[in-house]
Amino acid sequence: MHRNVLAGVALLATLATASPTLAPAQSNRWGADYFPNLPVVTQDGKTLNFYDDVIKGKIVVISFIYTSCPDICPLTTARLGQVEDKLGDIMGRDLFFVSMTVDPENDTPEKLKQFSTAFDAGPGWLFLTGKPTDIRQINYKLGDKGRSLSDHRNEIVLGNDATGEWTRNTVFGDLDRLVMDIRAMDPKWRDQVRVAKHNEASNTGYPLGLEPGQVLFKKM
């Protein structure tokens, strides 16, 4: 049974220091008044406004990468690629991936395009860059407060802007559990009643009397 990932305490203001916890919706204080609506540029060279076009009303999974990273960023992106495969056709429809560069001075849209193509990123997965001051302001609000490339945030951020629920997670654990945590950001999904269907073939019980010999016989 999956965890109820949305039973914790509001967090996004403390993303950088708190342990992974969860935020119940409280009048969506993590919305337009919190996130910068600054311009960002996708791997396809398209300019978007971060809040209005990237996260507003959406369920998102946000990671932090840079294209010249020798180890953790490729591994993070590869693991998210596996999660993308597990999520199937709800990607780009019910939820979206966002990979924010932490090296906007060097990560051009062309470099991000090469990086995303190398990991076969599909529809619904944006790789974003932009003006260094804008990107750093956005990343700071998302909890990435690293002062150098080597100490940027390795955790991912899960969020549902419509409900104001945000949490941190990791790609370096059980990916099936992560898929459940991501899907549980959707209230419609997590509130479904899941009842296992009765299967006669699984019924291996026997009606037993009180006689000890009969019990022993049935066990043989």
- Tally of domains within the chain: 1
Residue 201 inside a domain? The answer is no
pLDDT > 90: what percent of the chain? 65
Report which of 11, 36, 62, 6 is spatially closest to residue 135, judged by C-alpha positions.
36
Residue 86 inside a domain? The answer is yes
CATH number at 130 reads: 3.40.30.10
Structure token pair of residue 104: 């906007």
Amino acid at 51: Y
Amino acid at 196: A
Do residues 104 and 152 make contact, with C-beta atoms less than 8 angstroms apart?
Answer: no
Residue 182 inside a domain? The answer is yes
Locate all alpha helices (DSSP H) within the chain, ordered by sequence. 72-87, 109-118, 132-141, 175-183, 187-190, 212-219
Q: pLDDT per residue over 77-116, tens digit each?
A: 999 999 999 999 999 999 999 999 999 999 999 999 999 9
pTM given for the model? 0.76
Residue 32 inside a domain? The answer is yes
Whether residue 189 has pLDDT greater than 70: yes
Q: Measured between alpha carbons, how far is residue 68 from residues 52, 78, 209 in Å? A: 29, 15, 72
Do residues 167 and 18 make contact, with C-beta atoms less than 8 angstroms apart?
Answer: no
pLDDT at 31: 85
Query: 67-89 burial, b if ≥16 CB within 10 A, otherwise e?
Result: bebeeebeebbebbbebbeebee
Residue 202 inside a domain? The answer is no
Residue 188 inside a domain? The answer is yes
Estimate the share of the chain in helix, then strand, then coil, as percent rounded to the nearest 5.
Answer: 35, 15, 50
Residue 106 inside a domain? The answer is yes
Domain that holds residue 31: 12-196
Whether residue 146 has pLDDT greater than 90: no
Residue 47, strand partner residues: 41
Amino acid at 4: N
Residue 151 pLDDT level (bands cut at 50, 70, 90): confident
Q: How far, in Å, CA of 141 to CA of 191, rounded?
A: 29
Residue 217 inside a domain? The answer is no
